[in-house]
Amino acid sequence: MAHIENTDQTDRKQTMARLLFFHNGKTAKRIMYRDSLRVARVKELIKTDLIQSDSAKFSAGIVLFHNGYSKKALRQFNEVNTQTNNNAMKLNSQTWINICIKDTLTRHGK
């Protein structure tokens, strides 16, 4: 899970300048393809219940949120928040819960 999250973050940082300055459609298509693969992997891991640790669930939430799945990300962050004994992880998940809620309300015009 950490690898999927890290590649997601790296891709976004490396390609943002290229997209802004060159408006390269080929680069955008590659990014969208890699994002869809990451989301498919994360969804499959969640579906088969292979994401067990709190950090893996948190990483899954980050990947889902960055790819537009704020409701599914919210579920992951809620699980982490209710199950973890780690206070730092609890605070981070609560922050992301608030971000997901705000994003969901914004998307639905409330």
The ranges assigned to domains in the chain are: 2-107
Q: Output the pLDDT for position 78.
A: 96
- How distant, in Å, are the alpha carbons of 55, 71, 77, 100 from that of 66? 17, 12, 13, 10
As assigned by CATH, the class of the 2-107 domain is: mainly alpha
Closest CA to 58 of 40, 69, 74: 74
Residue type, 101: I
Q: How confident is the model over 63-93, as pLDDT tens digits?
A: 999 888 999 999 999 999 999 999 999 999 9
Q: Output the pLDDT for position 90.
A: 94
Q: Output the pLDDT for position 60.
A: 93
State both tokens at 5: 């999250």
pLDDT under 50: residue ranges of the chain: none
CA 24 from chain centre, in angstroms, equals 24
